[in-house]
Every structure is written in C-alpha cells, then in structure tokens.
Amino acid sequence: MDSITGSGAPQRQPASFVMKCGGSTLAALPDNFFEDLRLLQEQGNQPVIVHGGGPAISGNLERLGIETEFVNGLRRTTEDVLDVVEMVLSGSINKQIVRRIQAAGGRALGLSGSDGGLIQARPVDNSAEVGFVGEVTEVRSNIISGILDLGYMPVIAPIGVDESGQRYNINADTAAGAVASFLGAARMIVVTDVPGIMKDSGSGKAVLPAVTVQEIDEMIASGEIYGGMIPKVKAAVSCIHGQVQEVVIVDGSVPGILSRVLSGEEIGTRIVQPK
C-alpha cells in the first residue's frame, strides 16, 4: 500500500487501542471477552474495532450459488460478490458484534467504511484480476472521533468507497492498520484463536514474546512457522504500516486478555517494526 495521507490524518489524541478480529473468531469468543471490553470502556478506554468475515461470506455465496475464487489471497470480487460481501460484513456480522457488546453492558455503534465516506479507497493495482477490491487512501478519522466522544466504541466493517460512490471490498487487516494509523494509534491488538506465534524450544512449543517482521519472514522461509499459522501471522504483519509500530497477537478466549495486554503484561506475541 502507498503511504497514507490526506485530510483524514490524525486530529485527536490516539485511541486507546484498535482491535482487529475475524468474524468467525468473534462469533466464537466467550461472553467474558465482551465483558472485558465493557470494563475497559467504563475505565475510560476507547476501543475501536475493525472486523472481517471471510467464512460467513463464503458460506452465503455458496448458498446463493455465486462462484468465488481467490487470487494471491484476495477474493475476486464481482458486483454480485460485492453485494454479498456488503450484506454480510455491514449487516449480519457487524450487528452481531454490536449486540454482544451491548448485551455485556457496553456501548457500541456499528458502521461500515462507506458510511459518511469513512474509508476512502481506490482499486488495487491488479484490479483487472480481482475486481472490486480496494486499497485505503484515507480514513476520515473525525467520524470515529465523534463516535468515541459520544461514549460509543465504533465497530467498523471494512467496505471502502471512492468519490463516485463505487464500493470496494477491503482486506480487514489492511483496513484495521489504516484506521489505527489515521487515529494515531501506535499499537494494534489482533484477536485470534491462537496464543501467539509458536516456536519449538526443544522441550515443546513455546510462545515467542516478541518478533520483528524480518524474523517472521525468516521463520516462514525456514519452516518454523508453517501451515495455518502462516496466514494468521501474515495478516497481523499487514496491519503494520503508517504510524502503527506494533501489533500484538493474542488468544481471545483467555479471560481478561485485552485488559492484560493494555496493562503491560507480556502475553501473546508482539510483532514490532525494526528501529
């Protein structure tokens, strides 16, 4: 992605944290995760949530008989596919997350990147291959600021829009990183179903407390990171750009995980930008 600039550049104190989570992971999280979010909000923190929903999109496309394929990890997005992507991300998944936060006593407001032109986008370079997939050019952070100032945590579906009103399917990790960068947040929390990046310590697998992007590339090349962990790690790395200097991968099923990360406890894996 190109460097992110524009009128949506940071205009406020950084949000406490930006959290990214896949739709399927969020659906499986225990109630105490959302109670932890509510507690953080009551303590004056300002969570900003960006979510995905790939499996639910695929399931709905299959039920509707709409073919889908992936090109270099990006879903090929025709107009028909885009209708389903928007329906699932901005509709069912977004509202499910909002309802769970509110059921736990928190205050949340769901929106998509097309609302108010929140996430401005343009076609990716290989749009001829992947269709209506976009990259972020600007996040109108004043919209998020306004929601935070009202005492709500924004829950954002990664749909982008351009000046003509054309919608784009935005990779959730890329969208989360852009939101964090425009808000001036230096750290992101990526909630997954794994405790972090695992490495063989000789006496079994152990969680790496910290790793650089370069070290991750080396571990993938050597086979130390393999299988289903590769896309999880690459997704976390893709959140690091702009002002985002650190991404923390955590297991959302661990009680009080967000509070523990924000309190400085060494839990999960920190992926850091090299100095």
Known binding positions for substrate: 53-54, 75, 169
Binding site residue list: 53-54, 75, 169
In contact, 247 and 271? CB cutoff 8 Å: yes
- Residue 146: partners with Cβ closer than 8 Å, 6 or more residues away: none
How far, CA to CA in Å, does 180 sit from each of 48, 125, 190, 243?
A: 9, 23, 12, 8
Tokens 């697998």 belong to: 205
91-122 per-residue burial string, b: 16 or more CB within 10 A, e: under 16: eebbebbbebbeebebebbbbbbbbebbbbbb
Name residue 136's beta-bridge partners.
121
In contact, 245 and 187? CB cutoff 8 Å: yes
The whole-angstrom separation of Cα 235 and Cα 80 is 26
The whole-angstrom separation of Cα 121 and Cα 104 is 34
> For the packed helices 31-42 and 94-103, what is the interaxial angle rounded to 10 degrees?
70
User: Rounded to the nearest 5°, which phi and psi values hold at 266?
Assistant: -80, 95
- Residue 193: partners with Cβ closer than 8 Å, 6 or more residues away: 25, 28, 251, 252, 253
Number of helices and strands (H, E) in the chain? 11, 16
